[in-house]
Amino acid sequence: MVAISYASLTIDGKKVGNAIEGESLTVLEVSGDQIRIEGSGRGWLDAKFVVSVEHAFDYYTQRLQQKPDDSFLFSLSFRAEGALKEKKYDRAIADYTDLIRLQPKHAFYWCDRGFARMKKGDSDGAIEDFTAAVNLDRNNPKFFSGRAYAREEKKDYDGAIADMDKAIGLNPKRSIYYRIRGELRLKNEDYNGAIADFNDAIQFDPKSGRNFVARALARSKLEDYDGASQDLNKGIQLDPDEPVAYRRLARLMSTCPDAKYRNGDKAVQYATRAIQLRGDQGNNDGTYLGTLAAAYAEVGNFDEAVKWQTKANESYSPEQKKKWGFLLDLYKSHKPYRDEIKKK
């Protein structure tokens, strides 16, 4: 849901805060025309103050058509935000372009257009917009982290890491920034550096299962399979509905070079659970399907391994197919796959 007006939040009839126009809200409970929501605050408000994300774009389009001068920019900015949330990237880019033309020194408009361009696949355009935002305001870590995402898409990991250095310098206690930089260092094959970042992420947010799951991958790259297994199980304990944790644990149990850590039966169970948690996306994600294939190969059920690897191949990107396409012939020859460790 999206708040379409400032509205008081109440609990037991007492005001406890406000819903802010344009913010995304999670519905916790509905009672008649009252909705209990969670956003920047938590409490009850009247349903007339919210619309679904799907209808937010149309709502602000109607507001714009009325065009009262004092609220034109306000409505245009919320329509742009609604278009971005609804994945109408061309519309969002067009609205943010108009906003930038009218207020060229508003850094957030450049930033948000950058996100829209990145979602559309225009990494170069996104980098230009995030850079414009940075040049207007070098004290906002969001602008640096946004540019880091765009640079990551270009495989400019050194540049992305440098941007995350800036973001962390501006907000040194935000856990997710350390995890993002750690994941970039993973891709740069700096596994010790990645672990250091994941340790910091865990320090600032020890209840995030994703932080442990991320560290597990770096530990496995350094052949610390005990540590990797502990982190993955901790991740599942903290967030039992996190599919990545189940998938990575299934992969460890299927493909680990050390037989001590392999368990094909559990790997099939965890890989299947990971796909279930991903829903329709899991059935069309080559990484998840390939993990289930590897698990079946580990238990010696190569008919199932070939079946699921065939489905994985159909879902792979060209880059993934180039990297993993050989697995189908491997399983047809009744051989399981073992991970190779690259150290740096």
CA within 13 Å, CB half, 43? 18
How far apart CA 248 and CA 307 sit, in angstroms, is 20
How far apart CA 157 and CA 184 sit, in angstroms, is 6
For residue 282, is it left (φ>0), alpha (ψ between -120 and 50) or beta? alpha
How far apart CA 119 and CA 134 sit, in angstroms, is 19
Enumerate the H helices of the chain as residue ranges. 53-66, 72-85, 89-102, 107-120, 123-136, 141-153, 157-170, 175-187, 191-204, 209-221, 225-238, 243-255, 264-278, 286-298, 302-315, 318-324, 327-332
- State CA 44 to chain mean position distance: 29
Q: To the nearest whole percent, how much of the chain has pLDDT over 70?
A: 90
How far apart CA 308 and CA 293 sit, in angstroms, is 5
Which residues touch 233 (CB under 8 Å, ≥6 apart)? 249
Q: Assign 148 to helix, strand or coil.
A: helix
Q: Which two tokens stand for residue 257?
A: 């070079």
Q: What is the pLDDT of residues 233-258, one digit of tens each?
A: 999 999 999 999 999 999 999 999 99
Question: What pLDDT, on the 0 to 100 scale, is given for residue 60?
Answer: 57
Q: Which two tokens stand for residue 63?
A: 């507001």
- At residue 65 the predicted structure's pLDDT band, cuts being 50, 70 and 90, is low
Do the beta carbons of residue 324 and residue 314 sit within 8 Å?
Answer: no
Rounded to 5 degrees, φ, ψ at 16 are: -125, 0
241-344 topology per CATH: 1.25.40
Q: What is the pLDDT of residues 113-132, one digit of tens each?
A: 999 999 999 999 999 999 99
- At residue 70 the predicted structure's pLDDT band, cuts being 50, 70 and 90, is very low
How far apart CA 256 and CA 225 sit, in angstroms, is 8
Answer whether residue 133 shows pLDDT above 80: yes
Question: What pLDDT, on the 0 to 100 scale, is given for residue 53?
Answer: 61
Q: Which of the residue ranges 1-10, 101-110, 145-154 would you say has the lowest mean pLDDT?
A: 1-10
Handedness of CA 104, 107, 108, 114 (dihedral sign): positive
Specify the CATH architecture of the domain 2-51. Roll (2.30)
Q: What is the pLDDT of residues 171-212, one digit of tens each?
A: 999 999 999 999 999 999 999 999 999 999 999 999 999 999
Mean pLDDT of 28-34: 85
Superfamily name with CATH number, domain 61-172: Tetratricopeptide repeat domain (1.25.40.10)
Question: What pLDDT, on the 0 to 100 scale, is given for residue 9?
Answer: 85
Ranges in the chain annotated CATH 2.30.30: 2-51
Ranges in the chain annotated CATH 1.25.40.10: 61-172, 241-344
How far apart CA 166 and CA 171 sit, in angstroms, is 9
Residue for token pair 């690897």? 309
Question: What pLDDT, on the 0 to 100 scale, is given for residue 226?
Answer: 97
Q: Which helix (H) or strand (E) covers residue 46, if one does? A: strand 42-46
Answer whether residue 89 shows pLDDT above 50: yes
Answer whether residue 166 shows pLDDT above 70: yes
Question: What pLDDT, on the 0 to 100 scale, is given for residue 68?
Answer: 47
Rounded to 5 degrees, φ, ψ at 292 are: -65, -40
pTM of the predicted model over 0.85: no
Q: Assign 37 to helix, strand or coil.
A: strand
Answer whether residue 62 shows pLDDT above 70: no
Residue 290: count other Cβ atoms within 10 Å of its Cβ. Answer: 26
